[in-house]
Amino acid sequence: MHRFPRSTPSLVAVPVALLLLAGCSSSSEPDAADAHGGDPGSVWSYTGDEGPSHWGALTSEYGTCSSGEEQSPIDLPAPKRGAALDLQASGPVEGITADNGHTVQFTAADGARTRIGGDDLHLVQLHFHAGSEHTVEGEAADAEFHFVHADEDGALTVVGVLADRGAHNPAYDSFVAGATAGAGRESTVDLDAMLPEARSHYRYDGSLTTPPCSEGVRWIVLEDRIELGADQLADLEAAHVENVRPVQPLGDRTVDYSLA
């Protein structure tokens, strides 16, 4: 049974510096920092002795990966099809797409603004996981995209979008092209066009899904999924596949539905 608590979780600021590649230049050498943050000098993986079950022991900075009580991703309940997400994007955003070793990440240039639920945020970056990290009633999607936003204090809101194999999606062409470029590539993303038309959603308190697994992240996962063409998914999976952290215990947390 999922209860419905406050509409806006309390946030703990997570340094935005953890999220960025080395600037937004056209450099062909992407920083080794991972998709959600982390120490470029550390080594972690999605498999073997450096995989998710071992992250907390790799270094003291990653201890939250094993000791945290509000970790992400989680298994989500059946959709409720409630009210739409109140999101207003500033329009197409330019930036650099590059492979950072764990995913392909679009890093937005300065000035990418988004208003979510009345909060003024800026889009920091976008990256993907193949398949999805969040599951719904135990079932994973073919991919998941994370649109990472920060407020002026550095507190994070991540909008998660699940994707299934289906029709070609031109809104993702620029990002996918960056995934296949083999080096940093100038890209443009249109957040509004990349989200599903229906925007009922889940909200919960969570964490980064990669080391250091910092908590205090507001998660908004849209219930409806987008479709990507088989060719688009193949291009993404050629770069990274199964770059997925397993679902984490919900514990004492609650999932808030966007009920009208």
Q: Is the peptide bond before 101 cis (omega within 30 degrees of 0)?
A: no
Token pair recorded at residue 36: 């959600």
Of residues 36, 102, 201, 240, which has the active-site annotation? 102
Cross-strand bridge partners of residue 94:
188
**Cα separation of 80 and 159, whole Å?**
18
Q: In what order do the strands lie in the sheet with 135-136?
A: 75-76, 135-136, 139-140
How many helices and strands, by DSSP H and E, does the chain display? Answer: 5, 15
Evaluate whether 146 touches 156 at the Cβ level (below 8 Å): no
Map 166-181 to HEC letters: ECCCHHHHHHHHHHHC
Annotated catalytic residue 168: no
Would you name the residues annotated as active-site residues? 102
